[in-house]
């Protein structure tokens, strides 16, 4: 079989300088083909270790000796300061009255963002204004941004206001017994937008391409910030940052609640997730939870006018509930007595961990028929933008006389309200070779269009488009075929093919019908493969 | 990146203004109609009404008293381009919506992912 002229994935995902690397190969040699990715917001993924993480690109370390190994690189922020290393902490000790501290100058780019991570100790400060700062002068007094005023670890994303900035710790000392310490500090260039997401939710790598979504829950992690609804005898305690979450960080909340009368509908303890439902609209509720008792526990989730009982185990699970509301209503999570109503159920005594609470809106005020990746919120609803991929100027990779477009893809939903397409095109949707998910359940479609006129168009319903399927479209004048999972589903022996194909888009070529799904591999061939080759290529 | 906070009397007016400014286009192909972002638009988020005084609910979650809303409906627009939205552009101090990785109250032109506790 001929080598593909362009590939994405197939076990070889890479990112360089923000671009997803497609590639071509010859023997054992690989030639990178950068694919432009656009998403102006942060996104998350499941990493190879199975942990949820922000997709970010970090630069090199900007701080010298930020690990407390040496005072080299650090200067006195004020004269009456003694610098020392104490138990691998960088310590500034007051040797007179008045302010003291230490700082280090950084050369930064004002067009970039930086992530600052630091652990400090201010327990032995004066009790006044001891804090970690970044500023535009060495004694940390001009254009100050205070990063932390308490002992512990802090993380901040910063857009620098100047090319030379100073970072350090200062205190307004009263006497020479005061000192402040930096345990460790790190400043690195930080990129979050335009980064491809290679996701391992299924245990293997795939390119995660998702639509714009808004998490309507205002506190997705610090659950204690959500209100609660209680009645009758019982208890309710929420402890934030109690245990490790699916991120591997200690930021999941512990929820302890109890009622005494499981027959009394007026006895309840509920987390009130807010007014996130509207009449007649389906929205996807999702959250991660696990039991903390060592036994399975049943938890009630309800809204107007329906409910679901979810069973928590000792392992983290993501629960996904498609909820259609008959009213403008809230979503409640917890336990409630009574029977026969949609708002009763759940164990009387609950002790579980909760994290990543999410109710999704598609951005238009409408619904969401499936859950997408986690969107963190902290005091407001938050939107993650649409993922978009494009590669222009690749006429040398696409044969406008014959070829094959091949995908191994799992769509995010069996029934989509909009078309999802990947195409080889000329920058318009009038001339293109395309594979798409139709709006009909589990229906895929192949299209070859010339001058706005369809030359080959077939559609087939397959068993489940949310499973990974291998789909190939062969195009050649008067010789078209659609193959799925080793089977030739359709052919056509009449039709011309478009000329001038020079780009790959995860849409129709005109920005419409943006693709969403998980792509394990994409291949473009410059020859119309034989039936046996197509069977081999597409067999699962 | 530019983030605009917008207020309109109703959704029809807001949609029409955003359409007239070219932030999106309505495309219909083979009977399927969709909104397609144009001219640098990264995201349009229809926030809808914003509650000034919350509703009260019974213990089934149904509204007992209706919420009191600020006038009109609200949008957030993220775009690489600059627009003059006139009186429809607002400058709230405690925003109810933000974009992932951006400060909660980020708005205006040349906004970057910025000083944010994470």
Whether A405 contacts A524, CB under 8 Å: yes
Whether A305 contacts A343, CB under 8 Å: no
Average pLDDT over chain B, rounded to an integer = 86
Identify the residue with better confidence: A488 or A56: A488
Chain A and chain B share a number of CB contacts under 8 A equal to 148
CB contact under 8 A, B117 and A156: yes
d(CA A396, CA A385): 32
pTM flag (> 0.95): no
By C-alpha distance, the chain A residue nearest B105 is: A380
d(CA A531, CA B118): 53
pLDDT of residue A533 exceeding 70, the answer is: yes
- Which residues lie closer than 8 Å to B16 by C-beta, 6 or more apart? none
pLDDT of residue B31 exceeding 90, the answer is: no
By C-alpha distance, the chain B residue nearest A388 is: B42
Whether A226 contacts A265, CB under 8 Å: no
CB contact under 8 A, A41 and B102: yes
- Which residues lie closer than 8 Å to B84 by C-beta, 6 or more apart? none
Q: What is the mean pLDDT of residues A252-281?
A: 93
What is the least distance, in Å, from the CA of B9 to any CA of chain A? 16
d(CA B97, CA A59): 29
Whether A483 contacts A538, CB under 8 Å: yes
The 10s digit of each residue's pLDDT in A167-177 is 999 998 777 78
Residue A356, φ and ψ in degrees, nearest 5: 70, 45
What is the least distance, in Å, from the CA of B87 to any CA of chain A? 22
A423 shares contact with chain B (CB less than 8 Å): no
A157 shares contact with chain B (CB less than 8 Å): yes
Name the percent of chain A lying above pLDDT 90.
82
The 10s digit of each residue's pLDDT in A128-153 is 779 999 999 999 999 999 999 999 98
Around Cβ A107, how many Cβ atoms within 10 Å?
9
d(CA B18, CA B22): 6
B16's enclosing H/E stretch is helix B11-20
Residues of B in contact with A304 (CB under 8 A): 60-62
Residue B16, φ and ψ in degrees, nearest 5: -65, -40
Identify the residue with better confidence: A174 or A259: A259
Structure tokens at A360: 């999704």
- Categorize the per-residue pLDDT at A276 as very low, low, confident or very high, splitting at 50, 70 and 90: confident
Identify the residue with better confidence: A182 or A416: A182
Q: What is the mean pLDDT of residues A404-428?
A: 94
CB contact under 8 A, A330 and B44: no
The 10s digit of each residue's pLDDT in A432-445 is 999 999 989 999 99
pLDDT of residue B114 exceeding 50, the answer is: no
Half-sphere exposure of B95 (CA within 13 A, CB side): 27
The 10s digit of each residue's pLDDT in A215-246 is 999 999 999 999 999 999 999 999 999 999 99
Around Cβ A493, how many Cβ atoms within 10 Å?
10
What is the least distance, in Å, from the CA of A530 to any CA of chain B? 32
Around Cβ A239, how many Cβ atoms within 10 Å?
14
Beta strands in A213-362 (DSSP E): 213-215, 227-231, 234-243, 252-259, 268-272, 282-291, 297-303, 306-312, 317-324, 332-336, 349-361
Residues of B in contact with A375 (CB under 8 A): 100
pLDDT at B118: 31
pLDDT at A417: 80
- Categorize the per-residue pLDDT at A491 as very low, low, confident or very high, splitting at 50, 70 and 90: very high
By C-alpha distance, the chain B residue nearest A510 is: B36
pLDDT of residue B111 exceeding 70, the answer is: no
Q: What is the mean pLDDT of residues A373-384?
A: 96
Q: Give how far the C-alpha of residue A511 lies from the chain's centroid of Cα atoms, to the nearest Å.
A: 22
d(CA A159, CA A464): 45
User: Which positions 343-362 of A are in contact with B (Cβ < 8 Å)?
Assistant: 343
User: Which positions 453-512 of A are in contact with B (Cβ < 8 Å)?
Assistant: 508, 510-512
Residues of B in contact with A266 (CB under 8 A): 59
By C-alpha distance, the chain A residue nearest B54 is: A275
Sign of the C-alpha dihedral, residues A37, B37, A281, A229? Answer: positive
Name the percent of chain A lying above pLDDT 70.
100
Q: With helix as H, strand as E and coil as C, how does A181-243 read?
A: EEEEEEEEEEECCCCCCEECCCCCCEEEECCCEEECCCECCCHHHCEEEEECCEEEEEEEEEE
pLDDT at A337: 96
Whether A93 contacts A170, CB under 8 Å: no
- Categorize the per-residue pLDDT at B116 as very low, low, confident or very high, splitting at 50, 70 and 90: very low
Structure tokens at A367: 């619904």
pLDDT of residue A112 exceeding 90, the answer is: no
pLDDT at B25: 96
Around Cβ A207, how many Cβ atoms within 10 Å?
24
Identify the residue with better confidence: A44 or A28: A44
Whether A462 contacts A440, CB under 8 Å: no
| Closest-CA residue to A66 (of A114, A14, A119) | A119
- Categorize the per-residue pLDDT at B115 as very low, low, confident or very high, splitting at 50, 70 and 90: very low
Task: State the Cα torsion A189-A192-A197-A202 to the nearest 10°.
Answer: 90
User: Which positions 97-126 of A are in contact with B (Cβ < 8 Å)?
Assistant: 113
- Categorize the per-residue pLDDT at B109 as very low, low, confident or very high, splitting at 50, 70 and 90: low
Measuring CA to CA, how many Å separate A170 from each of A79, A87, A147, A148, A155? 12, 20, 12, 11, 18
pLDDT at B60: 65
Q: What is the mean pLDDT of residues A117-136?
A: 90
A42 shares contact with chain B (CB less than 8 Å): yes
What is the least distance, in Å, from the CA of B86 to any CA of chain A? 22
CB contact under 8 A, B46 and A365: yes
CB contact under 8 A, B59 and A266: yes
CB contact under 8 A, B59 and A380: no
Residues of B in contact with A144 (CB under 8 A): none
Q: What is the mean pLDDT of residues A8-32?
A: 86
Residues of B in contact with A386 (CB under 8 A): 37, 43
pLDDT of residue A501 exceeding 90, the answer is: yes
Residues of B in contact with A145 (CB under 8 A): 115
Q: What is the mean pLDDT of residues A180-189?
A: 96
CB contact under 8 A, B61 and A268: no
Around Cβ A83, how many Cβ atoms within 10 Å?
14
What is the least distance, in Å, from the CA of A194 to any CA of chain B? 11
A328 shares contact with chain B (CB less than 8 Å): yes
- Which residues lie closer than 8 Å to A123 by C-beta, 6 or more apart? A151
pLDDT at B117: 35
Residues of A in contact with B75 (CB under 8 A): none
Beta strands in A39-174 (DSSP E): 44-46, 52-54, 57-61, 75-76, 81-86, 89-94, 98-107, 114-121, 131-135, 145-148, 152-158, 164-173
- Categorize the per-residue pLDDT at A388 as very low, low, confident or very high, splitting at 50, 70 and 90: very high
pLDDT at B108: 67
Average pLDDT over chain A, rounded to an integer = 93
């Amino acid at each position: 079989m001929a080598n593909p002229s362009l590939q994405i994935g197939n076990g070889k995902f890479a990112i360089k300088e923000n671009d997803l690397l497609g590639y071509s190969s010859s023997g054992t040699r690989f030639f990178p083909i950068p694919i432009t990715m656009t998403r102006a917001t942060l996104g998350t993924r499941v990493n190879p270790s199975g942990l949820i993480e922000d997709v970010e690109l970090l630069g090199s370390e900007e701080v010298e000796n930020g690990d407390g190994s040496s005072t080299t690189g650090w200067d006195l922020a004020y004269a009456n300061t003694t610098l020392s290393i104490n138990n691998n902490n960088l310590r500034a000790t007051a040797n007179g009255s008045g302010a003291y501290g230490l700082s280090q100058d950084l050369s930064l780019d004002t067009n970039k963002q930086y992530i600052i991570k630091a652990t400090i100790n201010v327990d032995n400060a004066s009790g006044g204004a001891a804090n970690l700062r970044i500023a535009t002068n060495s004694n940390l007094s001009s254009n100050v941004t205070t990063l932390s005023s308490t002992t512990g670890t802090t993380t901040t994303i910063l857009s620098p206001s100047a090319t030379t900035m100073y970072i350090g710790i200062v205190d307004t000392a009263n006497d020479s017994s005061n000192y402040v310490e930096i345990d460790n500090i790190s400043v690195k260039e930080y990129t979050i937008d335009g980064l491809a997401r290679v996701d391992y939710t299924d245990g293997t790598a795939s390119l995660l391409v998702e639509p714009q979504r808004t998490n309507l829950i205002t506190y997705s992690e610090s659950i204690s910030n959500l209100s609660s609804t209680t009645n009758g005898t019982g208890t309710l305690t929420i402890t934030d940052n109690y245990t490790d979450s699916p991120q591997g960080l200690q930021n999941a909340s512990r929820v302890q609640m109890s009622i005494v009368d499981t027959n009394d509908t007026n006895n309840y303890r509920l987390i009130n997730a807010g007014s996130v439902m509207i009449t007649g609209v389906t929205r996807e509720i999702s959250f991660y939870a696990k039991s903390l008792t060592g036994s399975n526990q049943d938890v009630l989730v309800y809204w107007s006018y329906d409910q679901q009982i979810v069973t928590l185990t000792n392992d983290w699970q993501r629960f996904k509930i498609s909820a259609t509301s008959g009213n403008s209503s809230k979503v409640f999570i917890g336990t409630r007595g009574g029977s026969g109503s949609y708002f009763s159920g759940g164990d009387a005594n609950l002790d579980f961990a909760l994290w990543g609470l999410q109710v999704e809106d598609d951005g238009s005020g409408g619904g969401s028929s499936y859950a997408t990746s986690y969107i963190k919120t902290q005091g407001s609803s938050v939107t993650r933008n649409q993922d978009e991929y494009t590669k222009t100027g690749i006429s040398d990779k696409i044969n406008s006389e014959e070829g094959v477009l091949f995908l191994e893809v799992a769509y995010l939903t069996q029934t989509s309200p909009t078309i999802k397409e990947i195409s080889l095109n000329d920058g318009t949707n009038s001339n293109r070779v395309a594979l798409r998910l139709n709006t009909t359940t589990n229906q895929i479609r192949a299209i070859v269009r010339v001058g706005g006129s369809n030359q080959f168009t077939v559609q087939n319903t397959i068993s489940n488009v949310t499973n990974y399927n291998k789909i190939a479209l062969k195009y050649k004048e008067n010789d078209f075929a659609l193959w799925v999972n080793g089977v030739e589903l359709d052919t056509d022996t009449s039709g011309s093919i478009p000329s001038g194909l020079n780009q790959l888009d995860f849409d129709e070529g005109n920005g419409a019908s943006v693709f969403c799904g998980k792509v394990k591999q994409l291949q473009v061939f410059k020859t119309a493969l034989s039936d046996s080759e197509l069977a081999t290529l597409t067999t699962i | 990146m530019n983030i605009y906070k917008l207020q309109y009397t109703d959704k029809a007016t807001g949609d029409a203004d955003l359409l007239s400014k070219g932030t999106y286009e309505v495309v219909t192909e083979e009977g399927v109609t969709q909104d397609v972002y144009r001219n640098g638009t990264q995201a349009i988020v229809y926030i809808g009404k914003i509650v000034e005084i919350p509703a009260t609910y019974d213990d089934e979650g149904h509204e007992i008293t209706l919420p009191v809303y600020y006038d009109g409906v609200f949008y957030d627009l993220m775009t690489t381009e600059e627009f003059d939205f006139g009186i429809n552009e607002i400058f709230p101090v405690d925003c109810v919506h933000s974009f992932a990785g951006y400060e909660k109250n980020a708005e205006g032109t040349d906004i970057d992912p910025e000083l944010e506790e994470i």
